[in-house]
Amino acid sequence: MQYEHKILLVDDEPLIRRSMQKTLSRLGFEVITADNCIEGLTTFEAAQRSDNPFDLALLDLNIPGFTGQPQEGAGLELLSRLHEKSPNLPVIILTAYDEVHKAKVAISRGAREYFVKGRDEGLVDLMDAILEK
Amino acid sequence: MNVKFRPKILYIEDTPASRQLVSRLLGQDYIVLEAADPLSGIELAQHTNPDLIIVDVNLPGMSGHEVATRLKTLYPETPLVALTADTSPGGRERALIAGCAGYLTKPIDPDTFPEEIAEFLAGRRDDLDESTNEFRAYQAELVERLEMKIRELTDIAARNEYLLEQNRQIIALLQRRQRLLEAAARVSHNITSILDLKQLLDDTVAVICDEFGFYFAGIFLLDPAEEWAELRAGHGEAGEALVDEGFRVPVGFGSMVGVAIEERKARISLDVDEETVYFRHEYLPKTASELVMPLIFKDQVFGALSVQSDIPNAFSDDDSTALQGLADQVAVAINNARLLQDLDAANRELLRTKTFEAIATATGEAIHWVGNKAAPIPASAGRVREDLTHLLAMFQTLLVLPETERTSHPFWNVVQNTFVTAAEQSIDLSANAEKLANLSPNAFVFLGDLESTLEDLQIIEQSARKILNIKEDLIGPARKPRLEELNIAAMLRETISGMGLPAGVIISDFGPDLPLISADARQLDNVFGNLIKNAWEALDGRAAPHIWVRAFPSEPGFIHVEVEDNGPGIPAEIREKIWVSFFTTKGGQGGTGLGLAACMEIIQQSGGKIWVESENGQGAKFIVLLPVIK
């Protein structure tokens, strides 16, 4: 089976990660998951070296950072590292909270969008809009 | 050399030149003693016991004759000689009658004078002839002078009496002044030690009545609108009764208190029957005079002190001065107490705000957490429904196929795989089938019922969506705010027209040239839509319902927007709770109680402030401050 888009999903909450993966998979996305920054970066780099790199990354804001410890805003760090490898990669930052200032920071750090988790439909609309451009 | 015995001669004479001459003429042979007035002459005579006394006839105070008479009584043996420039007829006779041994005239003849004195010392006594008339004349003169002296003394006594009375009054005045000062000091002391306004006012009127002995003392304070002066403390006759019944007078004409406050001047009525604007009350029938002083501190009038007496003209200048001093002190104290009250209120307000903020934050976090955990549920339920549908479709397809074609159909393997998965998941399908087979056919209604299964899925989905809805109500639409430069007046006009309320209900008033703000128009539309919706619901069933929406520049850097209604107002006891999530006044008629909590969150995120002002029965006013673009 050939997927249209390949998505990297990094979130440390297993149930949320799995549910989101299933939703997106059924809609035709190839979803590769990771639950921390290190694994996220490794997965991304491996895909880049292959002939099938990621088209978009969904990064939770608060995930275990590169130190291996849970860290507030670690998602932004991963965002920067991914952009070092692939400057044009569209990234959506996910969060459980509607924190305006963090959204602003994420956008200023190069994220395409900021999404408060809750309704996967909304997320899918965002992804479609970005990927169709 | 023999010490020569020199007789002593006393010369009573007020003219220094005469004393000098006599002293020179007689100094050689006599010891000359001098006295300048009759009384010291008599005194000197008593101490020195002179051998001869020369007395001037014209002396201050007593006449020489009287001195002579007196000396003659005291020293009958000592010869007296009158020496005078008075050569009028009868002079010699009167001198002799008065008791003088001789009568010499001035100017003094230096050649004969010492000789004549020597003669008198030796015992010369001039005779008196035809003395009767002169004697009577001298007696009449004496009586006349005596009467004069008595009159003088009587006058002096009367004068003394007057002075004594004056002294007494001055002392009384001083004592009173002292008491007033002590009273003022006592009040001042209280003022520094009492910060409770009520106690201070009560103490002050009590001290005034007790120390000054007045019939009534009362302190009036202005109401916040400065239209009425309310009696806040009263002492003496009916004082407490008047305070209890909330006695008050309007500021301005109509009462001495009202006028004193308006004119910022003390008013005194020494006889209330003549004063047109006195404070008369049926409880105070005996008021005869009244003194009212405004309580002023730094150009601010707080009220007035009224003191009343049951006697006319009761207030002296001292009273006024002391009471004015007291009034000034009281004004300072009221100012202090008010400052403290303000501080206290600000403190409590801060504590309340912080408490509710903490509650709101905690509630918000809890909702986020629950919402977060519930997030995968709807999607999962959706997939279960989808998979169930797929499985049913496959079973149906296989069931209608002839047996020979089933195993070659692509669904066959899929279905077979589900049995493998069930076994892997330790679901014993054979045992389950056996159990079902043993049941009566009626029981099948409740088992394997697709309708019930779908309903359960719906229950799961709906419950999860409710939780997500609540989370989204609280945090606003799940999206990042789109900040833009916003004309608040244009935005409010759109919000208002979108509400579709009956014409005339909303009265808007937007100041000209309002500065732009930076905000998310959709979020602000939610906030003001919410406030207007709440106002409209509060106005349900009320006559002439109105909602005022106003916007104007306020404290530097902010625009002030307010939404006010003429509904029933918000009771004080719930005025803080309305901001807390899940608090609702709408009972079962919908509403999650998240509207205002969300409004507060949105406004605070925009760097603004939101609060409510309301008095029971007088509508509610929600005020929003939004920062303008710098």
Q: Above 60 in pLDDT, residue B476? A: no
Query: What's the whole-number average pLDDT of chain B?
Result: 83
Single-letter amino acid code for the residue at B86: D
Q: What is the pLDDT of residues B224-239, one digit of tens each?
A: 888 899 998 888 767 7
Chain A CB contacts of B375 below 8 Å: 16, 19, 117-118
* Residue B157 host element (H or E): helix B132-193
Angle formed at CA B468 by CA B463 and CA B472, multiple of 5 degrees: 150
Contact of B605 with chain A, judged by CB distance below 8 Å, is answered with: yes
Q: What is the pLDDT of residues B423-454, one digit of tens each?
A: 999 999 889 888 888 877 776 666 667 888 88
On whether the CB atoms of residues B627 and B606 are closer than 8 A, the answer is: yes
The Cα B233–Cα B203 span in angstroms is: 9
On whether the CB atoms of residues B263 and B293 are closer than 8 A, the answer is: no
Q: Above 70 in pLDDT, residue B272? A: no
- Under an 8 A CB cutoff, do B478 and A98 touch? yes
* Residue B486 host element (H or E): strand B484-486
- Under an 8 A CB cutoff, do A118 and B480 touch? no
Candidates A116, A119, A123, partner chain B, best to mutate (most B CBs within 10 A): A116
- Under an 8 A CB cutoff, do A96 and B372 touch? yes
- Under an 8 A CB cutoff, do B375 and A19 touch? yes
Categorize the per-residue pLDDT at B186 as very low, low, confident or very high, splitting at 50, 70 and 90.
Answer: confident
Contact of A100 with chain B, judged by CB distance below 8 Å, is answered with: yes
- Under an 8 A CB cutoff, do B376 and A26 touch? no
Categorize the per-residue pLDDT at B367 as very low, low, confident or very high, splitting at 50, 70 and 90.
Answer: confident
The Cα B292–Cα A30 span in angstroms is: 91
Q: Which of B372, B373, B379 sits opposite A120 (nearest CB)?
A: B379
On whether the CB atoms of residues B64 and B94 are closer than 8 A, the answer is: no
Tokens standing for residue B311: 């006697």
- Under an 8 A CB cutoff, do A107 and B375 touch? no
Do the strands B620-627 and B558-565 form a parallel or antiparallel pair, or are they unpaired? antiparallel
Q: What is the pLDDT of residues A29-51, one digit of tens each?
A: 999 999 999 999 999 999 999 98
Please compute the mean of the pLDDT values over residues A108-133 and round it to a whole number.
86
Q: Above 80 in pLDDT, residue B398? A: yes
ipTM entry: 0.73
Smallest CA–CA distance from A98 into chain B, residue: B475
Query: Coil, strand, or helix at residue B348?
Result: helix
Of B258-267, B351-360, B523-532, minimum mean pLDDT range: B351-360
Q: What is the pLDDT of residues B88-136, one digit of tens each?
A: 777 788 788 888 888 888 888 888 899 989 999 888 888 776 666 767 7
Chain B CB contacts of A23 below 8 Å: 379, 383
Q: At what angle are helices B64-74 and B132-193 packed, to 10 degrees?
A: 90
Tokens standing for residue B539: 């106005």
Residues 6+ apart with CB under 8 A from B412: B398, B406
Contact of A29 with chain B, judged by CB distance below 8 Å, is answered with: no
Count how many Cα atoms sit within 13 Å of the Cα of residue B558 in the half-sphere of its side chain: 16
Candidates B365, B367, B380, B480, partner chain A, best to mutate (most A CBs within 10 A): B480
Query: For position B479, what pLDDT does the model report?
Result: 46
Closest by CA position to B534, among listed B605, B475, B590: B590
Query: For position A100, what pLDDT does the model report?
Result: 63
On whether the CB atoms of residues B255 and B220 are closer than 8 A, the answer is: no
Contact of A19 with chain B, judged by CB distance below 8 Å, is answered with: yes
